[in-house]
């Protein structure tokens, strides 16, 4: 039987968690290790040199208080389930993770951590803001998971970023697009004269994104994007002249 690790960035009460657990338990033995509370936007951050309290929610289901999504996967792979995981699934997130969202997303960070360990991993998000229905999305994830588990060697070190719209038309394997946000930083001064800041903003548009994950989701398709762990721009490595400490070409 396959062993499947489930994590997320929405915490124990994430609405996409229980439906996902139910579906994936049909194809393997599931273990759940998630942040205790909401940890969206934490990317691939990890906690160093600090102990984190673990709470048992139920059998094979644990929450890490103050732990990031990547922490949860690390704890699972290096301690809880050492050398026993066949697939890591992170989600289902309550809103899309498209384009450069994958850099900031805790959902993607958790899945990428599994891929770094050589385990096929899925980062799954609902392709709408504050989704309510996760049963259909969970069934799709189960089907994709079954496909991956039959081809584990091919998907070693691979993180698939998946966004699932309602009433989807099919699945498209596509590159990331580029999302545009109207971002700003709000400043506030308290009675003691201390400044506090808050980042806020909203999604404006995807710009020129024909054939990307953003485009396909807008057309009603599930987007699946394989994410590389090696972020080296090899074309630029070949083109750029090497400079010495004096700024002269070598």
For the stretch 6-27, pLDDT in tens is 999 999 999 999 999 999 999 9
Q: CA-to-CA distance for 125 and 141, rounded, in angstroms?
A: 10
Burial class (CB in 10 A: 0-12, 13-18, 19+), 196: exposed
* pTM of this structure: 0.91
Cα torsion for 77, 81, 86, 90, to the nearest 10°?
A: -60
Burial class (CB in 10 A: 0-12, 13-18, 19+), 91: buried
- Domain edges within the chain: 3-175+207-238
- What does each of the 250 residues of the chain score in pLDDT, given as a tens digit? 899 999 999 999 999 999 999 999 999 999 999 999 999 999 999 999 999 999 999 999 999 999 999 999 999 999 989 879 999 999 999 999 999 999 999 999 999 999 999 999 999 999 988 888 899 999 999 999 999 999 999 999 999 999 999 999 999 999 999 887 777 788 888 888 888 878 776 766 666 689 999 999 999 999 999 999 999 989 888 877 676 666 666 5
Q: Which CATH architecture has domain 3-175+207-238?
A: 3-Layer(aba) Sandwich (3.40)
Q: What are phi and psi of 216, to 5 degrees?
A: -65, -40
Angstrom distance (rounded) from CA 17 to CA 10: 8
107, 6 Cβ separation under 8 angstroms: no
**Angle of CA points 103, 223, 202, to nearest 5°:** 50
């Amino acid at each position: 039987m396959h062993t499947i690790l489930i994590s997320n960035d929405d915490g124990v009460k994430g609405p996409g968690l229980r439906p996902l657990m139910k579906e994936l338990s049909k194809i393997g033995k599931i273990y759940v290790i998630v942040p205790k509370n909401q940890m969206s936007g934490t990317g691939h951050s990890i906690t160093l040199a600090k102990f984190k309290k673990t709470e048992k929610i139920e059998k094979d289901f644990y929450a890490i208080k103050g732990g990031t999504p990547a922490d949860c996967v690390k704890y699972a792979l290096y301690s809880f389930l050492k050398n026993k995981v066949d697939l890591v699934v992170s989600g289902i997130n309550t809103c899309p993770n498209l384009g450069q969202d994958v850099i900031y997303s805790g959902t993607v960070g958790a899945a990428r951590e599994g891929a770094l360990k050589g385990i096929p991993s899925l980062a799954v998000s609902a392709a709408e803001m504050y989704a309510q229905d996760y049963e259909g999305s969970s069934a799709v994830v189960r089907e994709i998971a079954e496909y991956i588990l039959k081809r584990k060697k091919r998907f070693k070190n691979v993180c698939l970023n998946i966004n699932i719209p309602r009433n989807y038309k099919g699945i498209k394997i596509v590159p990331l697009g580029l999302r545009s946000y109207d971002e700003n930083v709000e400043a506030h001064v308290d009675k003691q004269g201390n400044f506090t800041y808050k980042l806020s903003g909203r999604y404006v548009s995807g710009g020129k994104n024909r054939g990307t994950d953003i485009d396909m989701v807008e057309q009603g398709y599930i987007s699946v994007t394989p994410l590389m762990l090696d972020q080296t721009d090899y074309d630029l490595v070949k083109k750029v002249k090497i400079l010495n400490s004096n700024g002269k070409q070598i």
